[in-house]
Amino acid sequence: MAMQFYTSPEQIMRDRSEYARKNISRGRNVVVLSCADGVLFVAENVSASLHKVYELYDRIGFAAIGKYNEFENLRTAGVRMADLRGYAYDRTDVTAASLAKAYAQTLGTIFTEQTKPFEVELCVAQVGPNPKSDELYQLTFDGVINPQPGYFVMGGQAEQLVDRIKEGHSFEAGLAEAFRLAVQTLGSNENSDREITTDVLEVAVLERARPGRAFRRITGAALEALMPEPEAASESESASDDDSDDEGDSSAKDS
């Protein structure tokens, strides 16, 4: 007869955490930071069509790392929740905080009730009337929700990179300046800095000044124009042979 071995809850949770953390840490990084012009998302992403950064609602963006099918599932659920709430109440009643709380609930439930936790880390960010009022929420695989102070990094080297971004971050910086900091941060390594090229970058911004839907992808020529001049004698490391493209620019006028 098969015997069910006893495992302590501590051990189970520890194992799950370790499993999720290990897999998430393999992912490439995403930087989210708020600046004078809005909330900027910069992700290292070799795919041109599978995104890590998305629009959730009018002034709310979503960024994720980890297992694609898992965070895609969460993203879709978030869009549905936001659209349903906006339709049933009013567009202004959809907030990043409520979405983040819903995600925390979902992730927490999955973490405790399922055998395998979700291997994801999420960011829900909302652009406010001024940079100090931007809301950035970090959500980890176990359902923990952390409000972040205007900047944060997800992914493998998050802890090292966040120190780097902390030094350079300024709420008064313009988009170009904030972007330069984000790219430098993504490229900074323990040993040597590497150069990040446009073909591995996914960039989007929640534009503060734009009424209605604030989410805009920055691709193609607009991204090239934003790229900082390469600093002399930096080691270049091309990570992908993907072509940069103009596809997926969801900039949209709307009533």
Partner 1 sequence: MTAGTSSFTDFLSQVAPDLLPGRRPLPPGDYSDSTAHATTIVALRCADGVVMAGDRRATQGNYIANRDMEKVFAADAYSVVGIAGAAGMGLELVKLFQLELQHYEKIEGQSMSLNGKANRLATMLRGNLAAAMQGLAVLPLFAGFDTSAASPQEAGRIFSFDVVGGLYEERDYDAIGSGSLFAKGALKKRYSPGLDTDATVRLAVEALYDAADDDSATGGPDLTRKIFPVVYTATAEGANRIDPDEVAEVSRAVVEARHENPGG
By the criterion CB under 8 A, which residues form the site for partner 1? 49, 51, 54-56, 73-74, 76-77, 79-80, 83-84, 86-88, 106, 213, 248, 250-255
CB of 95 to partner 1, least distance (A): 17
Looking at the DSSP bridge assignments, the partners of residue 33 are 40, 151
State the minimum distance, in angstroms, from the CB of residue 43 to partner 1.
Answer: 15
Tell me the C-alpha distance between 153 and 149, whole Å.
Answer: 11
Least distance in Å: CB of 90 to partner 1? 11
Residue 94 or 162: the one with the smaller Cβ distance to partner 1 is 94
Smallest separation, CB 252 to partner 1 (Å): 4
Nearer to partner 1, 103 or 152 (CB): 103
CB of 115 to partner 1, least distance (A): 17
- Secondary structure (3-state) at 20: helix
CB-wise, 84 or 144, nearer to partner 1? 84
Q: Which is nearer to partner 1, 89 or 192 (by Cβ)?
A: 89
Cα–Cα separations (whole angstroms), residue 185 to 54, 59, 168, 182, 240: 21, 25, 9, 5, 19
Q: Work out how close the CB of 248 gets to partner 1 at its nearest, in angstroms, rounded to a whole number.
A: 6
Nearest in space to 107 (alpha carbons), one of 86, 150, 77? 77
In terms of CB distance, is 55 or 134 closer to partner 1? 55
Residue with tokens 């290292």: 44
CB nearer to partner 1: give 78 or 187: 78
Residue ranges of alpha helices (H) inside the chain are 9-24, 68-88, 96-113, 158-168, 175-187, 220-226
* Cα 29 from Cα 121, distance rounded (Å): 11
Tokens 């002399």 found at: 232
**CA angle, 178 then 135 then 210, to 5°:** 65
Least separation in angstroms between CB 51 and partner 1: 7
Distance CA 174, CA 146 (A): 25
Sign of CA dihedral 179, 131, 120, 213: negative
For partner 1, the closer CB: 75 or 164: 75
Cα 146 from chain centroid (whole Å) = 14
